[in-house]
Structure 1
Amino acid sequence: MIGRSEEYEKMFRLEGQLWWYRHLHERVVDALEQYSGNRRDIRILDAGCGTGGMLDFLRQRGYSNLKGIDGSVDAVAFCHERGLPVTFINLNDLASFEPDVQYDAIICNDVFCYFSDPDLSNLLAALAHRLKPDGILISNNNAFQAFQGQHDLAVGIIRRFVLADFKRLMPTAGLRIKQATYWSFLLSPLILGMRQWQRLQLALGWRAPEEAQSDVYLPSTWLNETLYKIVRIEQKTLRRTPFGSSLFIVVESRQSPVDKG
């Protein structure tokens, strides 16, 4: 999404309110608490942190040892406006950035969709190198090509994933998948219908590709809260779901100690 300053501005304004971001941020914290319990001093890196909504949420939850990196000047500027410790760096150059610093947890949300396989393999290897031996990588990703729509065009997404993609890519980086689930399963018919409508508009020429708009907008209060409650209930009642517009994974080093459960 580098170079799309208007999308970063929308993200900065809305990610603390919009149902999708709120749920994702809480899902990440749930994964961190499964990993480290109530500890708030673990070292966390948000790689591709955008405008800093995730880091800000972690800070509000008491996490104190935070670091962010992003390859967008606009995103980093918004992070600094929040007072967050974020450094500008192209993720393709991650291997040479602070190579001796390791983290308990790395977050990399909705970033892999901008990388082709060769570059993604390099990024995963660099992220694995930054993990402590028992550390975890938490990543949310755009899922299933069927959900492709104007949002993808607006933010520059070049690919979507299924779990099999990561089962293929992770071992070469020395990583293994610990947990994985698709989400927004209950909302899938609604999201799929909306995205198919968007694609039809493009196919019929009713909207030009350069006019594509992202899905980052705030619906009415009641609808925003309803959508948030649906995805939260889904997470609490359905441990894993087979379909959804996002794929959430928790990954660990293949050399990690046996999971204590």
Structure 2
Amino acid sequence: MIGRSEEYEKMFRLEGQLWWYRHLHERVADALLRQFGKKRDMSILDAGCGTGGLLLFLRQMGYTRLRGIDGSTDAVACCHDRELPVSFVNLNDLADFEPTVTYDVIVCNDVFCYFLDADLLPLIAALANRLKPGGILISNNNAFRAFRGEHDLAVGIVRRFVLSDFERLLPPCGLKRQSSTYWSFVLSLPIVLVRQWQQLQLKLGWHTPAEAMSDVYLPSPWLNKMLLGIVRAEQKLLTRTPFGSSLFMVCGK
């Protein structure tokens, strides 16, 4: 998404309100609670932190040792507006950035989708090398090609994942999956139908890739509240689901 200033501006304005971002942040907080209980002073790095919505959310929850990095100057500027401790770092160069500093938690949400294997494997290895013993890597990822649509084009996503991809990618980097689930399972059918309709319009030439719009927009308040309630209920009632537009994982060394 680097270079798409308008997308960062939308993210900056909406990630504290939009149902999808809010629930993703809640999932990260739940993973932290499960691993560390009520502890709030573990060191946390958000690698590819975007405009800082997750870091802001964690700060509001009382977490005190937060750090972020991102390869977009637009994103870093937004983080600095929020007075967040974020540095500009190209993730391809992560191995060279403060190489002796390690973390209890590294979060890398919706970042791997911008990397092909040749660059992704070194990135995952660099993230693994920054984990302290007993530390965890939390990662949310775009899932299943069936969900590919205009959003992918608008923000420059180059790939989507299934769990078997990470069963191949994680072990060479010294990581083991502790838990995982696809999510938005309950909403899968409407999302797939919308995305497939978008793909058909592109194939027929009714839309062009240059006209593609991202999913980062705020629906009406009642709909936003309803969608948030649905994904919250899904997480509570269905601890692991076999399908969804995202794949959420917690990994350890």
TM-score, length-normalised on structure 2? 0.99
Residue in 2 aligned with 1:258? Answer: none
Q: Cα offset for 1:206?
A: 1.1
- Residue 71, structure 1, aligned to residue 71, structure 2: yes
Residue in 1 aligned with 2:223? Answer: 223
Residue identity in the other structure for 1:165 = D
Q: Could you tell me how far apart the structure 1 residues matched to 2:106 and 2:157 are?
A: 21
Please give the secondary structure, in 2, of the residue aligned with 1:87: strand
Q: Could you tell me how far apart the structure 1 residues matched to 2:183 and 2:87 are?
A: 30
| Alignment of structure 1 residues 60-209 onto 2, 5 Å | 60-209=60-209
| Alignment of structure 1 residues 19-98 onto 2, 5 Å | 19-98=19-98
Q: Cα offset for 1:207?
A: 1.0
Q: Cα offset for 1:142?
A: 0.1
For structure 2, list consecutive stretches of 5 or more residues without a partner in the other structure: none
Q: Cα offset for 1:178?
A: 0.2
Q: Cα offset for 1:103?
A: 0.3
Q: Cα offset for 1:251?
A: 0.3
Q: Could you tell me how far apart the structure 1 residues matched to 2:211 and 2:246 are?
A: 24
Q: Could you tell me how far apart the structure 1 residues matched to 2:190 and 2:225 are?
A: 16
TM-score, length-normalised on structure 1? 0.96
Residue identity in the other structure for 2:165 = D
Q: Cα offset for 1:170?
A: 0.2
Please give the secondary structure, in 1, of the residue aligned with 2:26: helix
Residue identity in the other structure for 2:172 = T
Please give the secondary structure, in 2, of the residue aligned with 1:251: strand
Moved over 3 A (4+): none
Q: Could you tell me how far apart the structure 1 residues matched to 2:190 and 2:200 are?
A: 15
Q: Could you tell me how far apart the structure 2 residues matched to 1:203 and 1:171 are?
A: 38
What are the Cα deviations for residues 196-228 of structure 1, in whole angstroms up to 9, with x where unaligned? 111111111111101100000000000000000
Overall identity of the aligned pairs, in %: 72
Q: Could you tell me how far apart the structure 2 residues matched to 1:118 and 1:200 are?
A: 31
Aligned CA RMSD, in angstroms, stands at 0.4
Count of residue pairs the alignment pairs up: 253
